[in-house]
Amino acid sequence: MSKANFKTLHLRGLCKRFGECTVLENAGFELHSGEVHALLGENGAGKSTLMNLLTGVYVPDQGEIVLDGQPCSIRKPADAMAHGIGMVHQHYRLVERFSVAENLVLAADRAPELQRLPVAAKALQETAEQLGLALDPYARVADLSVAERQRAEICKVLALGAQILILDEPTAVLTDTESESLLAAIQRMANAGKGVILITHKLREVVAHSDRVTILRQGRAVASNLATESLTQADIAQLMMGDVAVSQRQPSNLQTNGPDLLVATGLSASRNDGSTAISNIGIRLRRGEIVGVAGVGGHGQPQLCEALMGLLPIDSGSIQLDGFQISQCSVSQRRSYGLRYIPADRATNALALDLPVSDNLALTKVASGSKGRFWISRKGLFQDAQNTITEHRIAGASPQGLTRLLSGGNAQKLVLARELDNDCVVAITHSPTRGLDVKSCGAVHTALRELTSRGGAVLLISEDLEEIMTLSDRILVMNTGCITGELPGTASASEIGALMIGGH
């Protein structure tokens, strides 16, 4: 069962690799009883992996987890619960057809006393009262609102004896008033001696409601256990996104007052569930320019890409490409005018991993019919693929080889070789260097610069400020689906950071 009085939890030097990809390197922090510890980082920075190590979903390759001076081995989720570590996931682990109390009974295989329904209900009731939350233990989960389900999940995990509670972006799904009451409850948990790890993207919450903060970037802890008292939101934003000295930047050599290649005005679009994803976005992209769109993740970036490409229908607004009105065009028509797309998630949106390299290199050309209107010569595809592989130095690739076997950097080279072809006019790129090593990043940057120097333009949407600042000639800042400001490419990280958190 859980330890009654946890004092400190240390995570030390944790490393995790998947194949060749290092997702966590020497990361760690400490958590005291009575503390709210915020864990920050962009998508892919390693937050989820770190929490998965703590909750026994993964086993670390190196490093140790020390609870009250005792190294503890957490090899499966049940071990974590036995040490009093509980997690409230973004997707709640509740059976909808059961009542809240029944869900607790279901989860209580290590706590026999909670297996009686009245006891479980009473435990939930008491936990909820301590936290100042309203909860009906006998309500059916299916009838509860999102906020109520979250309360149910939190009370369930605490009733099971959790001393350390991990909350994964708990306010992302809540309204402002709901968030306030949840954050107050989190404070009460800490006052009662629990340790709370709060994962969030909202910097305001970090400053106002956490005691210390740990920031991950690219698998490393760039700041551990910083006291939040002395920090501003802008400080935190800067730590999260990194900074680049002006000398390292590579602004375009061309005059950037060329003709407009891509003009989007008043662009609005909704997600599948009807909520607004982007609203009234205006973008102007001139010949020879790289325009960065900076912003914290989850603020409509993928939807902006999809709306520009024609993958997401727009509610209003217009898009012009090289003088052509394309807002009503299909993806293939937009591509025929020279629009190209390098999405953030190669594996799901850019590459068919189970097919050979030659297929993936040829697919846009086959779609447009330029490899043959009716018949495709397989030999021709292999030959073209071989040429491209040689020309772009895609290591480990053969025309017949499976695309799945390529490393991240080489898979991205494949996407670049296909998308940044000679007919490319404007490339929409979303985090094109995510998950790549330094050398591959350099190759991506060179390819993008090469496109602008031959008269194209690049829209660089990224959650990595370092990437934006290194490449962009101008920087737009995106926040909750809107463009909140424009800065020159020489803007400092704190200037950009100030715009990113504004309006929150």
Residues that bind another protein (CB under 8 A): 59-62, 73, 75, 309, 311, 330-332, 334-335, 341, 343, 348-355, 359, 362-364, 366-369, 371-376, 378, 400-402, 405
DSSP H or E segment with residue 389: helix 378-391
How many Å from the N-terminal Cα to the C-terminal Cα in the chain? Answer: 42
Q: Residue 242 or residue 408: which is nearer to another protein going by CB? A: 408
Q: Which two tokens stand for residue 15?
A: 């490393």
Q: Residue 51 or residue 162: which is nearer to another protein going by CB? A: 51
Q: Of the candidates 500, 444, 447, which has an alpha carbon nearest to the alpha carbon of residue 467?
A: 444
Q: Residue 232 or residue 398: which is nearer to another protein going by CB? A: 398
CB 331 within 8 A of CB 310: yes
What separation in angstroms does the CA of 465 have from each of 289, 314, 469, 497? 18, 27, 6, 9
Q: Residue 136 or residue 384: which is nearer to another protein going by CB? A: 384
Q: Residue 37 or residue 346: which is nearer to another protein going by CB? A: 346
CB of 478 to another protein, least distance (A): 21
CB of 72 to another protein, least distance (A): 11
CB of 53 to another protein, least distance (A): 10
CB of 30 to another protein, least distance (A): 20
In the β-sheet with 21-32, what is the strand arrangement from edge to edge? 21-32, 8-18, 62-67, 70-71
Q: Which two tokens stand for residue 177?
A: 């008033």
Q: Residue 17 or residue 449: which is nearer to another protein going by CB? A: 17
CB of 400 to another protein, least distance (A): 7
Q: Of the candidates 284, 281, 280, 282, which has an alpha carbon nearest to the alpha carbon of residue 261?
A: 284
Q: Residue 312 or residue 477: which is nearer to another protein going by CB? A: 312
Q: Please tell me what DSSP assigns to residue 144.
A: S
Q: Residue 258 or residue 380: which is nearer to another protein going by CB? A: 380
Q: Please tell me what DSSP assigns to residue 402.
A: B
CB of 153 to another protein, least distance (A): 29
Alpha-carbon 111 to chain mean position: 36
Q: Of the candidates 2, 33, 85, which has an alpha carbon nearest to the alpha carbon of residue 189?
A: 33
Q: Residue 266 or residue 369: which is nearer to another protein going by CB? A: 369
Q: What are phi and psi of 236, to 5 degrees?
A: -65, -45
Q: Of the candidates 477, 51, 429, 421, which has an alpha carbon nearest to the alpha carbon of residue 299?
A: 477
CB of 415 to another protein, least distance (A): 10
Q: How far is Cα 397 from Cα 360, in angstroms, rounded to an integer? A: 12
Q: Residue 188 or residue 404: which is nearer to another protein going by CB? A: 404
CB of 257 to another protein, least distance (A): 32
CB of 79 to another protein, least distance (A): 12
Q: SS in 3 state form for 247-280?
A: HHCCCCCCCCCCCEEEEEEEEEEECCCCCEEEEE
CB 27 within 8 A of CB 219: yes
CB of 385 to another protein, least distance (A): 13
Q: What are phi and psi of 456, to 5 degrees?
A: -95, -170
CB of 423 to another protein, least distance (A): 12
**Beta-strand (E) ranges in 133-184?**
164-168
CB of 280 to another protein, least distance (A): 25
Q: Residue 85 or residue 351: which is nearer to another protein going by CB? A: 351
Angle (CA) 212-213-218 rounded to 5° is 160
Q: How far is Cα 283 from Cα 483, in angstroms, rounded to an integer? A: 9
CB 281 within 8 A of CB 483: yes
Q: Which two tokens stand for residue 384?
A: 């073209």
Q: Please tell me what DSSP assigns to residue 436.
A: -
Q: How far is Cα 210 from Cα 186, in angstroms, rounded to an integer? A: 10
Q: Residue 234 or residue 363: which is nearer to another protein going by CB? A: 363
